[in-house]
Structure 1
């Protein structure tokens, strides 16, 4: 089977149909696959050629799929062992009441950065935040901005599916992207703390009664590990992932040949962490839980690979390049804009990154943007409005803070400012300087 050249109108219709179906609550995987099939046929492909487009597109994401499954081992260990909760409580306790907002944002940032999904990170820290807020008379709005903003900052420097997808989508190392995103992440943390401080007396003040409705997704069936043992897995993962960039900077030939990859670094760090926490006998339970959490992401990756195959096999990328050049706009803007729009449409950082890289990655690079710069701008762009009501994150965090729909909506623009800050900083550092 040969992959056909699809008319750009068909590709655009297919992408639009997939997004509309996602907004209509159809399963994202089926939405993406259906959009691919309809777009290919409308664009002039035969049934056999449409199949070839779907197959080639899904094959292109298999490398990302393998790495995401590997990340599930670390995620399972951190979430199910109680390690993430231990780290969060220790950070908040060390900084004390005077720096409550900063410590809550930092704790959520670190928990997300070590491989915990951002909704789960917010769920873990939310009870601590509500308890602190009730004592210090801080509003729930301010607390959520601190938690969500800190989580967004941590999410762009984590070995989570969104970072893996951005790195693999532009063929760069995961550690390279994590390091490059560090300054944008710090800027996001600073903005989250600033906004939360300004908002600390706006809206309903947190009270202990809000804890009754909190449903933190954590395992309480066993004693939580000590901080020293809980930090082993994420610390080892970070150290091993940094071998390549450090070797390149210092020109250490031996280490440059080491060629570490998240595929085996993250599971290795997770296993060592389990041994350090004295939970090695629970490896089957933890890995099963981690795999279950990654299943939806993997399925969406397959669907996004299909729609990406449709876009790249069409004339749409050429049309976009021509349009941007005729308008005299810098093609660099396509990277953050594609991340912003795709994440907004799907209300998901991971899905937004996957769609943006798969659909517009080659077009972005065609403007002369380096792969690293493109990855940073798409990745940070996907954090701007990925928290809209059509997504799961919006509702999970609302429940965590015991907020109704109206209260939760008040936080949306402030969270967007955090993501926009990271996008602007990332774009300036790597796209325009």
Structure 2
């Protein structure tokens, strides 16, 4: 059997197992094993390919584990909730869509996972929705749209991995997608949100508050962790001083703890962040195995031939590979990992810079990362108490937001190259 067919078969096996609720990491490892054997490799060669694939993501795994310090601090101290509440109060209820989308975008942009960002903002959104009579699916959609916009400019695992595999500077990859993220935010708020009918607003007699801030840290101290992190990452493009994310992310989190005077919560915050990041790290090991098999297959060559036949520039391998791999894994992180690990050399060989290659792959990985065989679909639907059918109805609109982000990222590459 052709190695391309074998690689695709491995992906299908992995997807099928994930849909059947088998552990995603084990599903990907088994898919890699079956795909390699079906593609004509010996057992020894398959294991070697899988091992090389894991080696390719090892440095990203290390950075992701240290990113748990920042994520854990923001969530466990209540800083993430303080930031989201402040944004919503600043924009006001009349601009509720913009407020919710921007709050989720900012949380993702400072390093909070998109599902955690949605879960953090959701209680505020549901409270406002009950007060104003706004449908819950519409509220969830604007939060997801904002989260996707923040995800492509964040020091989250997907951006770290894409930058790592392309050999690009993380802060440069983050900044490259700022304009697409802002366009995506406006598209989410002023176009996508309008597809849903808005019922007549009904104000409840019981005056609900957005949240009780008395138990949360003040806004100025809540902003310290993300601001310090962003400043440290920005030193390279601004001053030529390189601070690796391995250092910047935990330092930002620890500075936030000090300024919030919550040093006693240091261990719980770090343990919480490590627990969250460990899930991603294990998932990356699984994606690394199947990425190794894909790299040793002829799949890249077939994609090049396909793009030639449809008269599309080879530069589009970057966004297209991100889209395809996010569909296969229903994960931005896994999609960015597979696409960048499998196609980085090919993308760089056609003249795309490392920064823009990583940026376009990252944007493409947001197009189909919300499919039902991934955890994001169920986590976001569950927190907003949507049925499976209600959650499914959001998929076309989520995909359209991701497509706009990818298109804008690609256009920015053509403008800036």
**TM-score, normalised via structure 2 length:** 0.91
Aligned pairs for 1:23-422 within 5 A: 23-195=19-191, 197-199=193-195, 201-202=197-198, 223-247=215-239, 256=240, 258-422=241-405
Once the 2 structures are TM-superposed, how far is the Cα of residue 320 of structure 1 from its aligned partner? 3.2
Q: Secondary structure at the match of 1:44?
A: coil
Give the CA deviation at 1:187.
Answer: 1.0
Query: 1:251 maps to what in 2?
Result: none
What's the CA shift for 1:207? 9.2
CA RMSD of aligned residues (A): 2.6
Q: Is the 8 A contact 1:58 1:306 kept in 2?
A: yes
Match of 1:20 in 2: 16
Query: Does residue 42 of structure 2 align to residue 10 of structure 1?
Result: no
Question: Using the alignment, how far apart are the partners of 1:91 and 1:74 within structure 2?
Answer: 20
Distance 1:305 1:205, change over 3 A: farther
**Kept after mapping to 2: 8 A contact 1:335/1:364:** yes
| CA distance 1:345–1:317, shift in 2 (3 Å) | closer
What is the CA-CA distance between 1:199 and the residue it aligns to? 4.4
Q: Aligned equivalents of 1:431 and 1:305: distance in 2?
A: 30
Cα offsets for 1:240-283 (capped at 9, x unmatched)? 10111123xxxxxxxx2x32110011001111100000011221
Shift of 1:74: 0.4
Give secondary structure in 2 for the equivalent of 1:373: helix
- Distance in 2, matches of 1:54 and 1:207, equals 57
Give yes or no for contact 1:154–1:185 (8 Å, CA) kept in 2. yes
**Cα deviation 1:273-322 (Å, max 9, x = unaligned):** 00000011221111110000011111111111111111222333234334
Q: C-alpha offsets along residues 49-89 of structure 1, whole Å, 9 cap, x if unaligned? A: 22222221111111100110111110000111100000000
Gaps in structure 2 of 5+ consecutive residues: 205-210
Superposition deviation, residue 41 in structure 1: 2.4
1:7 and 1:407 map into 2 onto residues whose CA distance is 39
Describe the superposition over 1:320-369 as per-residue Cα deviations: whole angstroms up to 9, x where unpaired.
33443355331122221221122122221111111211222223333322
CA gap of 1:242–1:206, structure 2 versus 1, over 3 A, is: farther
In the TM superposition, residue 150 of structure 1 has moved relative to its aligned partner by 0.7
Equivalents in 1 of 2:305, 2:147: separation in Å? 37
Return 30-39 or 235-244, whichever deviates more: 30-39
Counterpart Cα distance in 1 of 2:125 and 2:203: 10
Distance change (3 Å), C-alpha of 1:360 and 1:303: same
